[in-house]
Structure 1
Amino acid sequence: MEASSAKNSTQTLWVDYVYDTVVNRYSDTNTLNLFSLINISSIKVNTSDEKEKIKRSLLHSIARYSKRYSNEGGLAATRKHLNEFKIAYLSMGFAVLELDAKLTYRGLVGSSSSFGRPAFDVGLSFDPILNVPYIPSSSVKGAFKAANDTAKLLRDESVRKLDFSDAYPVDHGLKGYLLVPDVLTPHYTKGGKDVLREDEAVPVPVPYLSLAPDSVYRFMVGVGGVRPDDEFFKTVVKVFKLALECGIGAKTSLGYGVFELTKEPSVDMGVGNAK
């Protein structure tokens, strides 16, 4: 019994040491990787008697760091990454449709992803190399297809000609943040189980991270064999606008993931595609 207690005490001290070292040494620099921080912190969260307090502190620390990172030139790497996407599309003979759009409210994409889930039970799509949240191409394509299924403006074979890239932030959101603390409160639960009677429910708030309002994301689509004045190109833009207005990701019925364009969409035909 004493050996087990000593082992647990040693583990706790080790977790505290690693957590405090990482947070205190790197929190004020661009060398802190949020993916690593949140994984280390999840151990502390799940071994502490003050889980909720640590969760709240961690949420605000990550939000503050996302603000510092985006304001100290961190987004330059995402713009470079997107430009490399564009060059790759053009080299394959695609025209490139480019749209910049900002979140009208918060955003939640990839809630089952590993980033954030061990600590907060709700994940978020996050690029550990670029150290920023992003919107996977699969989510963008899904939203586009859903919008087209509603509007019925493009045939399925036309949609299959489109190649969607991941979307990345190119400008920070409200008050300079990329990520903000959020909370979900399941009302009809008790002890982690669903209940039918409201008077039996014991709601437990679930804190998590979401994309900051007003964050600007760049979406790109590779379009084969299209000219800027083609009716097909105009239709693609129309469907994409509808997809952005309907929302991408989770909780769209509550206004999450809804975007509005910040400028007119542009197209780059490349040298090989020019008229």
Structure 2
Amino acid sequence: MSIHVNVVSLLSKSFVECFLKCSECCKDIGYVSEFSRLASERLMEAYKCNDDVKRLLENIKKYVDELQRAAEQVFSSVIRYEVELESRLTVHGSSHHLPLQISLAWDPVLNVPYVLSSSIRGVVRAFFEENIQGGKVSGSIEDLVKLFGETEHSSVVVFFDAYPVECRGEHLVEADVITPHYSEVAGTIDEARSSPVPLVFPVLAPRTVLHVLVALRKPVDGSTLKTFMEGVSKALENGLGAKTSVGYGRVRVKKVYFPQLNHRYE
């Protein structure tokens, strides 16, 4: 596998072709599990942080730069967060992006994993709703909560998909493994007949740098804006993606850019 081929198309095509061959000769193997293992290992090998991958990420950073400039022409405020993964990240594991037992959100055009805007929105909104009510975030409850509106379309806040722009470790994508010890059959779990089966799946690797864009549709007062920007940073550091309760998706906000005020802090 190579980063120069479309990963979504290649894996989908390979899954079908291999399944047809496997159904004829190897009915006893767990096909989906075995395919997921091999595909995850190939992705890890292909997305090692070599010159090709670094060039790919440089082009994605240019795309994010262009997206930010376009957003600044439309929205009142655009804030850019640079975050670095401190642990592996998994997101959209049950999606159709990749034909794997545990999937990973994958952009079929840019050909890299990414974090969906809906996932970021959920993390940030949950943080504000929980911490404002608990008095852990200063500012007017009404002013901050109403930014999100009752629906995504009525929200003042706009979130964009977050993309990797730099890999500082050995890999951009790694193969991870979990081993469920029990499978439920007919509503019961039989410990005596348990048969642990390792599940191998792709994740974004630690030390990957992502850029997160957040915009506001209309102006807000300076105090509310400052509190909002700080709150988003804290929300992101609570974790992105799935399985955050067991240590996945831990990030550190390294820099925040607010071009409209020529503002940047680390």
Cα deviations by residue, 1:210-264 (Å, 9 ceiling, x for unpaired): 111111110011123147xx2222211222122222212210111111210122x
Letter in 2 for 1:189: S
CA distance in structure 2 between the partners assigned to 1:256 and 1:235 by the alignment: 26
Matched residue, 2:41 = 60
Matched residue, 1:208 = 201
Residues 32-47 of structure 1: matches in 2 within 5 Å?
32-47=5-20
The TM-score normalised by the length of structure 1 is 0.78
CA distance in structure 2 between the partners assigned to 1:69 and 1:208 by the alignment: 24
CA distance in structure 1 between the partners assigned to 2:251 and 2:174 by the alignment: 17
Matched residue, 1:259 = 251
* Cα distance, 1:184 vs structure 2: 2.2
Matched residue, 2:235 = 243
Equivalent pair of 1:38/1:115 in contact (CA under 8 Å): no
Equivalent pair of 2:36/2:101 in contact (CA under 8 Å): no
Q: Alignment partner for residue 81 of structure 2, among 85, 93, 99?
A: 99
CA distance in structure 2 between the partners assigned to 1:69 and 1:60 by the alignment: 19
Equivalent pair of 1:78/1:168 in contact (CA under 8 Å): yes
Equivalent pair of 1:188/1:194 in contact (CA under 8 Å): no
Which SS does the other structure have where 1:109 is aligned? coil
Q: Alignment partner for residue 161 of structure 2, among 153, 157, 166?
A: 166
* Larger Rg, first or second structure (1 or 2): 1
Which SS does the other structure have where 1:81 is aligned? helix
Q: Alignment partner for residue 180 of structure 2, among 186, 193, 204?
A: 186
CA distance in structure 1 between the partners assigned to 2:189 and 2:35 by the alignment: 31
**Identical aligned residues as a percent:** 29
Name segments (4+ residues, structure 1) moved above 6 Å: none
Matched residue, 2:226 = 234
* Cα distance, 1:173 vs structure 2: 4.5
CA distance in structure 1 between the partners assigned to 2:36 and 2:10 by the alignment: 13
CA RMSD of aligned residues (A): 2.4
Unaligned runs of 5+ in 2: 149-154
Match status 1:134 vs 2:128: no
Q: Alignment partner for residue 145 of structure 1, among 121, 125, 145?
A: 125
Equivalent pair of 2:84/2:209 in contact (CA under 8 Å): yes
CA gap 1:136/1:54 in 2 versus in 1, 3 angstroms: closer
Between the two structures, name the one with larger relative contact order (CA 8 Å, sep ≥ 6): 2
Equivalent pair of 1:137/1:165 in contact (CA under 8 Å): yes
CA distance in structure 1 between the partners assigned to 2:178 and 2:187 by the alignment: 15
CA distance in structure 2 between the partners assigned to 1:217 and 1:104 by the alignment: 12
Equivalent pair of 1:77/1:130 in contact (CA under 8 Å): no
Equivalent pair of 2:58/2:166 in contact (CA under 8 Å): no
CA gap 1:132/1:225 in 2 versus in 1, 3 angstroms: same
CA distance in structure 2 between the partners assigned to 1:173 and 1:189 by the alignment: 38
Equivalent pair of 1:113/1:125 in contact (CA under 8 Å): yes
* Cα distance, 1:172 vs structure 2: 1.2
Letter in 2 for 1:65: A
Unaligned runs of 5+ in 1: 1-22
Equivalent pair of 1:195/1:201 in contact (CA under 8 Å): no
Letter in 2 for 1:94: S
Which SS does the other structure have where 2:110 is aligned? coil
Which SS does the other structure have where 2:84 is aligned? strand
* Cα distance, 1:71 vs structure 2: 3.4
The TM-score normalised by the length of structure 2 is 0.80
* Cα distance, 1:132 vs structure 2: 0.6
CA gap 1:151/1:170 in 2 versus in 1, 3 angstroms: same
